[in-house]
């Protein structure tokens, strides 16, 4: 799924109850990490729930796998992955994620704790991108 399709899908729903159901659906499609991958090395600091994000570098692109112990947060991980998946490190650093979150309505319609965690996920992904560029 591409970012534009994700935005279109979110705009299809009238209320946030349906959008939350869609977030949960997206999270349910995310493969679970095995317990041996749920280590401190991959844990995202700043999230109220436990979140792990693992980068995989292939040619010029970065791919991610991740998981959480909370169902809504798994959906947020799925959204973040749609935004950043299969991009180069420089593309990841250039994405205006706040604009995308605004278009999705996530800034105003998720709790402050989840929003903070979402931004921590973005920071972790940008950290991986920066590391891959050797900056």
User: Is there a catalytic annotation at residue 71?
Assistant: no
Active-site residue identified among 47, 73, 100, 106: 47
What are the φ/ψ torsions at residue 29 (nearest 5 degrees)?
-80, -15
% helix / strand / coil in the chain, to the nearest 5?
Answer: 60, 15, 25
| Parallel, antiparallel or unpaired: strands 87-88 and 51-58 | unpaired
Burial class (CB in 10 A: 0-12, 13-18, 19+), 106: buried
Please name the residues in contact with 32: beta carbons below 8 A apart, sequence gap of 6 or more.
67
Calpha distance 86→92 (Å, rounded): 9
| Active site (catalytic) residues | 47
């Amino acid at each position: 799924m591409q970012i534009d399709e994700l935005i279109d899908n979110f705009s299809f729903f009238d209320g946030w109850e349906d959008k939350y159901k869609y977030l949960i659906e997206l999270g349910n499609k995310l493969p679970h990490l095995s317990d041996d991958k749920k280590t401190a090395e991959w844990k995202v600091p700043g999230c109220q729930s436990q979140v792990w994000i693992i980068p995989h570098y292939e040619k010029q692109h970065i791919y991610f796998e991740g998981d959480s112990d909370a169902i809504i947060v798994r959906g947020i991980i799925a959204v973040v992955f749609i935004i950043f998946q299969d991009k180069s490190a420089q593309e990841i650093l250039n994405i205006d994620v706040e604009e995308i979150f605004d278009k999705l309505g996530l800034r105003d319609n998720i709790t402050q704790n989840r929003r903070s965690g979402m931004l921590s996920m973005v920071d972790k992904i940008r950290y991986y991108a920066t590391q891959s560029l050797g900056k």
